Structure 1
Amino acid sequence: MKKRFRIKKNEDFQFVFRKGKSFANRQLVIYYLEKPGQDHFRIGLSVGKKIGNAVTRNRIKRYLRQAFQELEDNIKYPHDIVIIARNQTKNMEYEAVKKSLNHLLYKQKLLKNISSK
């Protein structure tokens, strides 16, 4: 994922948390905020230490980045999106993480196409 698509600064995360909308399922929580001056979307990932060790947390972040990369053409912009992984993600495979993320984006109308698959 390119650097321009990432949210890295704590103040950017906090701004999305304060001003944005949120939605969740059992595996993931999504916060999103429309940013009219931006010409692309940005994502921030948060996987807490309660999820597991560094290997597990990095695997989850890798899965989420890969899922966003595959969905990038279908995501509406300009939005800042923060994804928080819940404890259940530590036992999930890539396809399940992608399906869960797709479900959240679809429910919040952040995808351009109509289908949820």
Structure 2
Amino acid sequence: MIWSEEMNKIQPLKKNQDFQHVFKKGQSTANRQFVIYVLKQREQAYARVGLSVSKKIGNAVTRNRIKRYIREGLRHYENRFSTGIDCVIIARKPTSELTYWEMLKNLKHVLKKSDLLKMDKDDSR
């Protein structure tokens, strides 16, 4: 479970003021499915990630499924995730129609684009 306090690599970004700080000061990167705001925090030895899925996207079941898929994708890439950052991931409307594997592929694409994933030797793309 990536949101537990025992695991130091990725922790949740919870407070509204932290979200607002990342939106105001952070750099944004986007693709069709996701927008990511990233703010470097040099004093942190871990990454904090917040998720946002608008009420315009489906019903509560759909929004929660999207958040679960994103959390699982982050857990999947946790060992390669950059530390010392605050990050907010916003899901756009097209994510509601994606399968888990399509969402994972698109999440990986936008994470690489924003330089949050460290390159692996198996990554040819």
TM-score by length of 1: 0.94
Of 11, 17, 21 in structure 1, the residue corresponding to residue 23 of structure 2 is: 17
User: What is aligned with 1:72?
Assistant: 78
- How many pairs are equivalent? 117
Alignment-derived partner of residue 97 in structure 2 = 91
Q: Which amino acid aligns with 1:51?
A: I
- Identity of counterpart residues, as a percentage? 50
Structure 1 CA distance, aligned partners of 2:84 and 2:31? 23
Match of 2:33 in 1: 27
Q: Are 1:2 and 2:3 counterparts?
A: yes
Q: Report if aligned partners of 1:43, 1:83 keep a CA contact under 8 Å in 2.
A: yes
**Residues 34-53 of structure 1, C-alpha deviations (whole Å, 9 max, x = no match):** 11111111110000000010
- Aligned CA distance change for structure 1 residues 116 and 48 (closer, same or farther; 3 Å): farther
RMSD: 1.3
Which letter does structure 2 place at the counterpart of 1:22? S
> Which consecutive residues of structure 1, in runs of 5 or more, have no partner in the other structure?
none
Structure 2 length as normaliser, TM-score? 0.89
Superposition misfits of 4+ residues, deviation over 4 angstroms: none
Matched to 1:30, the amino acid is I
Residue correspondence of structure 1 range 96-111 to structure 2 within 5 A: 96-111=102-117
Q: After alignment, is 42-51 or 100-109 more displaced?
A: 100-109
Conserved 8 A contact 1:106-1:116: no
SS at match of 2:23: helix
